[in-house]
Structures are given as C-alpha cells and as structure tokens.
Chains A and B, each alone.
Chain A
Amino acid sequence: MTVHCNAPPHGRGWHSTARRDSAPGPAGASAPDAVAAASTQPTGLRRSRAHAWFVAGFLLLLGGSLHAEPQILASQPPTTEPAMTTTGFTIVAQADPYASDFFDPSLLDAGAEARETETAEADDDLLDEAAYEALEEAAPDVDLLIQRLPEGNFNDRRAVAEELAATGDPRVPVVLGALLEGRLLATAEDPPRILIRAETGRAGRDALTGEPVDADLIASGRRIPVHNPLRNALRSLIAVSTLSAPDPERRATSLRRLMRDDVSPDLLEYLDDRVELEDDPRVMDLLLTVRALARLNVDDAQVRLESVELLRGSLLSEVRVRLEATANRDDDPEVRAAAREALDSIEARIRFFRFTENLFFGLSAGSVLLLAAIGLAITFGVMGVINMAHGELIMIGAYTTWFIQTLMPGALSTSILLAIPAAFVVAGLVGIAMERGVIQFLYGRPLETLLATFGISLILQQAVRTLFSPLNRPVQSPDWLSGTLQVNPVLALTWSRIYIFIFAIMVFVALLLVMKKTSLGLKVRAVAQNRPMARALGVRTGWVDALTFGLGAGIAGVAGVALSQLTNVGPNMGQAYIIDSFMVVVFGGVGNLWGTFVGALGLGMMTKFLEPHTGAVLAKILVLIFIILFIQRRPRGLFPKKGRAAEA
C-alpha cells in the first residue's frame, strides 16, 4: 500500500524564519526505473528552497513490510530560484529502511576497501555502474554541482550543498557526508575531479562515478575546506536522509539533529511513518520525542497537550527549551499549565542529577588529589622527608608517558598501559638516587630535607627544560579514555575521570597491601616507628629507606601517567600539584594512608561543592583557609598517629 503525500500548503521551513508559501507543489515526477532496478531507494528528504514550489512525490509503505516492491520515487530537479539558506524540503521517502545501503557512506567506504583487497564484485550491490549511468542521465546537473563544491567561499559551498540535497540524487548524502568529515577532495584539474577518501587507509573513489581511484590520486587531491557553520548545515541536510539508515545509531544521530531544528509539518508526517517502521526501542524513544516536539506546533490543542504529556520527564535540553517556550507562549491555557507542570517535574529531576554530577566531580577531583598526594604520603608521611621534588617526580612520570608514546606511535592504548610500570621504575629510580645521594644525610633534620629537595626540584625542572625544551609535550589519550558515559541527557560522566578514579583506588589499595602484607611494608613501618630498634633487630635501614623513598617516588611517577591524560605535560606541571599534595597529607594526618585517602576525597568534594557558589579561585582560597584553621584545631590532622612515633 502506498501513500502519496504532497507537500502541505503551509510548508514550515527548516528554520523558523522560513517563509510560508501557500503554493502547493506539483506532483512528483516518477523516478527513473534504473533506480528501482538497482533496488535503491533514495531516502533523502531533500531540500529545495523556502519559497520554492514544494515538490514531493513520495512513496510510502505503511505496515512496514520488508518485502514490499519499491515503487515510484520522487525526483524533481531543483527550481531555478536563487539559493536561500532558509528552505523547505521535499521528502523522498522509501519503503524499506534496510534497502538504503547505497546511501550509507560507511558502507560505500567499506566497499571501496573490499574492492581493493578482494574482488571487483565485492560491492556490486552498492555501486552498480548501470545505476550510476542512469542517475547521471536523470540528473546531469548533479555532476556539475558536485564539481562546483570546491569553488568560492564557505557560503557558496553551502548553497551548492543545499542545491545538491534538493536533487535527491542518491550520491548526494555520500558526497556531503564525505565533505562533512573532511574526506572530500578536489584535484587541480579543470573541471576538478572530486574524490572521496576512505575513512581509513589511503585509498578512495571518484565521487561522481564511484570508481575506485589509486592512493596517489587521492594524495594529490586537496581537501575541500569546511567550517563549523557549513558542517552544521551539512549535518542537517544529511540528517533527513539518514532517518531511515539501516544502522540504528545513525538513525538516532539524525533524530538528535532533527530535535534541534524546527520540524516542518511535512516532515512530521514522515515521522509518523517512521514510527510505524521503527523497531529499535532506543531510536523509537527518540523518534517519539522528536514527533512530540514537532506536534507542539500543530493547531489541535489536544494533540499539543498529549505531546506535553509525552515529553514529561524527558531530560533532553531541547525538550526543556521547547516546553519553556510552550509554557510561556502557547495559546491554550491548559497546554501552558501542563507544560509548566511538566517543566517543574523535569527541574526536580535535574536538581537531583546535578547533585549527583557534583558528587562525581568532587570524587574525581578528590581522586586526582589522591593520586598526586599518595606518593607523598609515603615519602613525607611515613619517612618524614618534606619532599618538595614530589611534583617533579610526577612530572617525570608524565614525561615517561610522552616518551613511550613517541616511541610507539599508533599503539596508544598499549603505550599508556606500558607507561604505568615504566613511569614507576623511572621515577622510582630517580627517587632512590635522590635518597642515596642527598636525603640519607639529612634524616632527623626534616626542615632541611625541605630545602635540599626543593633544590632537587629546581634541577629536575631545568633539566627537563634543557633536555626536552620548555614547550609542553603533547600526550594523546586513547579513545577509551575520551568521551562520556551518558547516563541520561543531563548526567554524563567522562570516561577519563572514571578510569582515573578507579586507577587511584587501585593504586591506593596496592600501596595499602604493600604496606600491610609484605615484608618490605613491615620493615618500612618498623623503621618509621623506631629506627634504632629496627636496626638492632637486623633491618638494613639504609636499604629500607632507599626502597621506601623509591616506592613513594614511583607512585608519584604513576600519578604522572594519569595526570598526563588530564592536563599539560611540561616542565612546570609539578609545581601545580605540590602544594595541594602537602595540604592533603597534612590534612589527613601525616603517616596515615587512610588519612590521605579521606583527606583527598574530602578536599576534592569540598572544592567542587564550593565552586558553583564561589567560583574556582575563591573556592580554593576557602579550602586553604579551612585547612589552616583545621590544623589549628587538630594539629596532627584528621587521623593523627599515636604513640611514640608521633613525636618524631
């Protein structure tokens, strides 16, 4: 069964500024048979111009039968009026969402690679020469348009892209997608050859014919530049055409896109049809939301009311914006009240999630503090060395990460994982060298270790400056460390922070185990408690000191690996953490690992809960003042060491 849908008389534009045009479009022309023969359905909702004749001939298959025979397609050459940025658009819908492979750029690329490595038939279903020829006959001006893409400035390019989208040519989404991703190249010839570089590798294909081209030609092509406004426009252009993409993720992306733009009534009808066809529950949710948003504009107050009900509880910012608008401006008081009420319930939920978010921020800030301070909890807390070079040991760990990354480019994840033990060893060795070279002469004179280690920190900083230049070093993050865990639209937890939190806990637990369960830990504690007695019992205190200091230094190095994923790697980076680290250790109680743990998370949490009210600077000052006052009240920190050792 097919439904033929004409453009509605009041074509609401893509943008809210679209001009209304009461002229109905002529019925769509029938598509070339070849297209149907290629079993391809142009899915593009194509744009024509705002005040253009609204043209839509399209074919819909209600009931969602996958095996329905594809029938007529709409295709109307673009009208000749001058390009406008505000456009209405034509819907060229299709019967079967799974038959749209042709238009999926990724599949096209996959095809390109397949062809390179395997046989020429690998992607025959994607690129039928005959189909291309037929297409060219049908829309000869599309070629010319595509060839015009490299010309002029961004606005010219945008106009061409809009014209292209309006053609409904099946190559257009592919070409625009490549343009969007910076993979559309033009050669220097006149007219230029337009090439599409594959997403990976150096191969590619001709944008007009779909034929694969060799890597040299690709390399000779110049990228057709795009900028953000153009990218945004392209996304909107493509979004409509990928509403029926086979990949649910792509459908979701295009729906999220549509959510931002005003949905015109003709698209609304198309959405109705998609609702019938959609089988992915997540996409379905989005689809219903988009449709409900679109329905907030219809004339029937009852429909608007239903939409408000449906949107109740959604946390999407677009929904909130539109509900806000409805609550303020809707003609019907009942709808206004419903929207206001829905908004209030949403706000209540958001408040809860913002609290959760703050909690997460606090924990994450705390975990960074913990990582930075935990090595110091050993060198300062257990050994009593005021290690002012602690920050530089962190820096050494970060530089180790950078160094390993430059040694093995292309293996980001491995290099990061490898950097952890490497940084531990490098920083640990530096620490042992420091201990044997300088600090061992200063035991019992804690204030002088401060001066000596401060001197070492200056030397290490300047050494890094001399060796690696004073410029920062770029350390990259592997993909699994970027991006967010999107719990819901208002609560997104960044992966890097989650991993660093877990990592900090792991380091802490490992250290705790070392101190409590190993013989080294036993000796360390023994030496810390009573050095002469430990020595009398046969503990080689010198070695224990060196190893303990090495352990603390090594952990600082490991912290450097984690921090390299969050911040700069440069000669000054250690300075940023040294004072905070000392505050944490002193606040928590010197010599107590649990104190450091609680102190770090507590201070992190405090900063993050103060920050929204006071701003970042004042929050930091207040935390410092708090620590100063706290130390006056409890001079030995949160968890003071008890007994003889406390007086050391």
Chain B
Amino acid sequence: MTQSPWLKSLRTPGVALALTLSAGAVQAEDPIKVGILHSLSGTMAISETTLKDTMLMLVEEQNRNGGLLGRQLQPVVVDPASDWPLFAERTRQLLEQDQVDVIFGVWTSVARKSVLPVVEELNGILFYPVQYEGEESSRNIFYTGAAPNQQAIPAVEYLMNEYGIERWVLAGTDYVYPRTTNRILEAFLKAHGVADEDIMINYTPFGHSDWQSIVADIRRFGSQGKPTAVVSTINGDANVPFYRELGNQGISAEDIPVIAFSVGEEELSGMDTRPLVGHLAAWNYFMSVDTPENAAFIDKWHDFIGDTRRVTNDPMEAHYIGFNMWVQAVEAAGTTDVDTVIDALKGVTVPNLTGGMAEMLVNHHITKPVLIGEIQEDGQFLVVWQTDDLIPGDAWSPHLPGSRDIIADWTPPISCGNFNTVTQTCSGQNY
C-alpha cells in the first residue's frame, strides 16, 4: 500500500486521538495513562518521532488484546520540542497534571539529566530506551538501552580479536555520551596494553559538516603500519558528511573500519549508504536479525505505520522490551501503584527480539546480547558477530576511577543507585 507522506503524518496524531476517544468510550473504569515524552519538533524530532509511534503501536496492540488489569491504556503524548528544560516541565505536567502511571521517553543524555530530578521528586516511572553513557541509576528510571559495557566494550574487543586492531581513533561529538564512552574505552584499551600514541581522540561540535582535516588526520594516523580502526560516537547529523568524506578520501572499511554506536537503520535510511558499506555498528538489535519475534514485530510496525519501507531499530526494541516489562510487572502487582510496580519490575523477564530473554536487573538496567553488524548497501546490517551470552548492563563502569567502587542495587539492604562499596555509603539520593 502506498500512502503519501503527508497523509501519513496527519494520520499518526489522529491515531492518538482516536485511541484516546475509544479508550474513554469503551471503558467505564478510568484508563491507565501511559505518558509518551518524545520530541516531535526541533532537532531531535528526527529520532524521537519514531519512538512515539512505536509506543502508540504497543499501546494500541495491548488495548486490542484486552488492555491491562481489565482497563484500557490511554497514551498521553506531549512534545518537549527538543528543549531540555522543557523536558523537565513536560515531565512535571505528565506526572502532576495528567497523573500518568508510567512514562516512556527521552532520547538525549541532557534531557534525561533534566528529567531525573522531576521523576524522583514526583515518584514516577520512566523507561529510557537509548544507549547511554552509564554512570547513573535512579530508583525511578529503568534503562532499557545499552550501558557502555553492552555496546562499546564488546565492540572494541571484537575489533581487537577479529581485526587485530592496534591503533585506535576515538572520534565523537563533544557531549557527555562520547566523552564518557571514550574515557571508558581509553581506560580499557590502556589496560590491554595499547600505548598512548596509538590512541587518537577527537571531538567535534554537533552537526559538524567539514570533515576534511579530521579525515585526513585519521588517514595519516592509520597509515603507520599498524591496523587501525575508528570508534565513532559521532552523533546524528554529523555522520553523513563524515562517512562521505571517508569514502571520498578513499578510506574503505577494509583499510580503516569505523565502528559506530549511533548509526542505526533509521539513520541509514536518510543517508546515501554507499560510502558506509562495510563499516560497522554495534547494537543490541538489528532489523535483519532472523527470529520469529522480530519478523512479527516488523510486520506489526509496517501495518501500524502504513509504510513497508520504514525500518525498525535498536531503541524501538528497547521500548518494546520496556513496555512488555512494565505490562508484566503491573499484571504481577495487580496495580499501577508506582512503588509496587518498581518493586515488581526487578527480575521481570521478557523475550527480546533477537531470540533471547531480557531481564530487569536490580540496578535498573537489563540484560542484552551485543551484536556487531556490517552496513550493507540496502541500509541493513549483516550480523558478523554476536555475544554468546546476554550481558548484564553495568550502571557504573569498572574502568573509570571515580565509579570503580560504586554499584547500584535497588533491593534491600542496599537500595541505592550509587552505593560505594569501600565507604559503605550511599550518597546524595533523596531516600
């Protein structure tokens, strides 16, 4: 079925509205409110709109299957407009005005940092679906994206073992996720005997578009006779000119492979993929993974969005997992009461889309497989490697000096997101 893009975009809010109406009409009892906090305008709309649609799809399906606890789910969509303080304000609105039972949303680290005090103050539940830098564990946030040890470290290990890489370029956009990831990687690499001069670290501003000098530097750095790879934490819009420049300067994935942590199917769908073919990405999910769960998910997505060309990606899987975990926890608890559900969420196990089971751990992170994919011409990934086991997410990296002794454990007797095992204290949190 073909549908013009503008019809489509008109349709999606319509769906939300229709859902709201039908939910109200069918159920006499109050619906369970699901807050969806993703930017629909501004710079982040490019990534977050899809997640809003994913959530609407999951809610719609749940309602079709009879809702939850015999009640319908009602999505409450708000737009924080890619404005970080507005994220906090919208969260307050969702929790205080709309009285939602759970929030799914947020993409960037800064938005999460902005939202965190509010969900803690108003005791909400937030499912955060994006891979992030770690170094955080809040009682009220459940992190369904990858922590650094579920993406960055395995990726580097893979390059070390499979490619025999000895020289590393850590290139990133200058913000907290690349900074943290690169610090962890730097510590990790040095622990594995990589010398200082074999690590090149480079930061660029958001949306950097002139990569000539940097790519030339990378080329020179990589031509010193040792196998070289680029670990890219380059964000969003800067990727297209980066890969184009790599391609134009004749750096192929065989010479200097680039492994990216922020380039997924959705980003690829907006790029000319030819300069990227053969380069790598590390995620916990790829659309190309061949499992029945994934096939069903993709079908549902295509049905819902009305366009078979749309792709699925890792954060969508994270929302899928997070939503199912929440549903299961609410069913187990028999209530949507926040404290009860938070307790019930620990240890919840739901299938992920790659054929394994995701478990919510006591540090509010989940277990995930790590997959490495090679970018193909069609914008999909060929899985070239994957971990045998599921990897539990680390809230605090053991590779960083500051967080080495810190653990997160939200079960008694610790019940703390940043418990220092040396001083036996839990600092700074409001409980």
The answer to the question of A466 belonging to the interface, with a C-beta cut-off of 8 Å to chain B, is yes
Contact of B250 (CB < 8 Å), options: A325, A483, A572, A607 = A483
Is the beta-carbon distance between B205 and A616 smaller than 8 angstroms?
Answer: yes
The number of chain A residues with a CB under 8 A from chain B is: 61
Minimum CB–CB distance from B165 to chain A (whole Å) comes to 10
Is the beta-carbon distance between A570 and B41 smaller than 8 angstroms?
Answer: no
Is the beta-carbon distance between B207 and A576 smaller than 8 angstroms?
Answer: yes
Is the beta-carbon distance between A229 and B241 smaller than 8 angstroms?
Answer: no
A487-500 interface bits toward B, Cβ cutoff 8 Å, 1 = contact, 0 = none: 00000101111000
Known: A568-B237, A570-B237. A474 touches B254 (CB 8 A): no
Known: A482-B247, A572-B43. A467 touches B5 (CB 8 A): yes
Q: Which residues of chain B come closer than 8 Å to A465, judged between CB atoms?
A: 41, 45
Is the beta-carbon distance between B213 and A358 smaller than 8 angstroms?
Answer: yes
Contact of B272 (CB < 8 Å), options: A229, A317, A318, A475 = A475
Known: A472-B46, A476-B272, A477-B272. A492 touches B257 (CB 8 A): no
Quick one: which of B202, B272, B275 has the most chain A CB within 10 A?
Answer: B272
Q: Which residues of chain B come closer than 8 Å to A469, judged between CB atoms?
A: 5, 8-9, 49
The answer to the question of A228 belonging to the interface, with a C-beta cut-off of 8 Å to chain B, is yes
Is the beta-carbon distance between A474 and B212 smaller than 8 angstroms?
Answer: no
The answer to the question of B65 belonging to the interface, with a C-beta cut-off of 8 Å to chain A, is no
The answer to the question of A47 belonging to the interface, with a C-beta cut-off of 8 Å to chain B, is no
The answer to the question of B269 belonging to the interface, with a C-beta cut-off of 8 Å to chain A, is yes
Contact of A568 (CB < 8 Å), options: B223, B247, B250, B270 = B270
Is the beta-carbon distance between B45 and A470 smaller than 8 angstroms?
Answer: yes
Known: A615-B203, A616-B208. A228 touches B278 (CB 8 A): yes
The answer to the question of A171 belonging to the interface, with a C-beta cut-off of 8 Å to chain B, is no
The number of chain B residues with a CB under 8 A from chain A is: 56
Q: Scan residues 541-575 of chain A and give those whose CB is less than 8 A from a CB of chain B.
A: 566-573
The answer to the question of A6 belonging to the interface, with a C-beta cut-off of 8 Å to chain B, is no
Q: Scan residues 476-517 of chain A and give those whose CB is less than 8 A from a CB of chain B.
A: 476-477, 482-484, 486, 492, 494-497
Is the beta-carbon distance between A494 and B245 smaller than 8 angstroms?
Answer: yes
Spot the interface stretch: A20-28, A31-39, A113-121, A360-368: A360-368
Minimum CB–CB distance from B307 to chain A (whole Å) comes to 10
A435 to B241, CA, bound (A): 33
The answer to the question of A473 belonging to the interface, with a C-beta cut-off of 8 Å to chain B, is yes
A26 to B208, CA, bound (A): 61
A495 to B46, CA, bound (A): 30
Is the beta-carbon distance between B271 and A227 smaller than 8 angstroms?
Answer: no
Minimum CB–CB distance from B52 to chain A (whole Å) comes to 11
A397 to B252, CA, bound (A): 30
Q: Scan residues 235-272 of chain B and give those whose CB is less than 8 A from a CB of chain A.
A: 237, 240-241, 244-245, 247-250, 253-254, 257, 266-267, 269-272
A470 to B42, CA, bound (A): 9
The answer to the question of A608 belonging to the interface, with a C-beta cut-off of 8 Å to chain B, is yes
The answer to the question of B174 belonging to the interface, with a C-beta cut-off of 8 Å to chain A, is yes
The answer to the question of A231 belonging to the interface, with a C-beta cut-off of 8 Å to chain B, is yes
Contact of A616 (CB < 8 Å), options: B214, B220, B241, B270 = B214
Minimum CB–CB distance from A293 to chain B (whole Å) comes to 12
Closest A residue to B240 using CB positions: A568
Is the beta-carbon distance between A612 and B247 smaller than 8 angstroms?
Answer: no
Quick one: which of B174, B212, B254 has the most chain A CB within 10 A?
Answer: B212
Contact of A484 (CB < 8 Å), options: B46, B244, B248 = B248
A81-111 interface bits toward B, Cβ cutoff 8 Å, 1 = contact, 0 = none: 0000000000000000000000000000000
Quick one: which of A322, A325, A358, A465 has the most chain B CB within 10 A?
Answer: A465
A607 to B269, CA, bound (A): 32
A476 to B212, CA, bound (A): 19
A595 to B389, CA, bound (A): 63
B172-211 interface bits toward A, Cβ cutoff 8 Å, 1 = contact, 0 = none: 0010000000000000000000000000001111011110
Is the beta-carbon distance between A572 and B46 smaller than 8 angstroms?
Answer: yes
The answer to the question of B422 belonging to the interface, with a C-beta cut-off of 8 Å to chain A, is no
Contact of A496 (CB < 8 Å), options: B45, B248, B278 = B248
Closest B residue to A357 using CB positions: B216
Closest A residue to B376 using CB positions: A182
Quick one: which of B217, B220, B248, B274 has the most chain A CB within 10 A?
Answer: B248
A470 to B274, CA, bound (A): 22
Contact of B254 (CB < 8 Å), options: A231, A466, A607 = A231
A572 to B266, CA, bound (A): 17
The answer to the question of A536 belonging to the interface, with a C-beta cut-off of 8 Å to chain B, is no
Selected A-B contacts with CB under 8 Å, 12 pairs: A228-B254, A318-B223, A321-B223, A358-B213, A361-B213, A364-B212, A462-B41, A470-B45, A474-B272, A492-B249, A616-B208, A620-B205
What is the interface of chain A, defined by CB distance below 8 A to chain B? Answer: 154, 225, 227-229, 231-232, 235, 317-318, 320-322, 324-325, 357-358, 361, 364-365, 368, 462, 465-477, 482-484, 486, 492, 494-497, 566-573, 576, 607-608, 611-612, 615-617, 620
What is the interface of chain B, defined by CB distance below 8 A to chain A? Answer: 5-6, 8-9, 41, 43, 45-46, 49, 162-164, 174, 202-205, 207-210, 212-214, 216-217, 220, 223-225, 237, 240-241, 244-245, 247-250, 253-254, 257, 266-267, 269-275, 278, 280, 374, 382, 384
16 A-B pairs besides A321-B223, A472-B237, A477-B272 with CB distance below 8 A are A317-B224, A321-B224, A361-B216, A365-B212, A467-B9, A470-B49, A471-B266, A471-B269, A474-B269, A484-B248, A567-B240, A567-B244, A608-B210, A608-B212, A615-B202, A616-B204
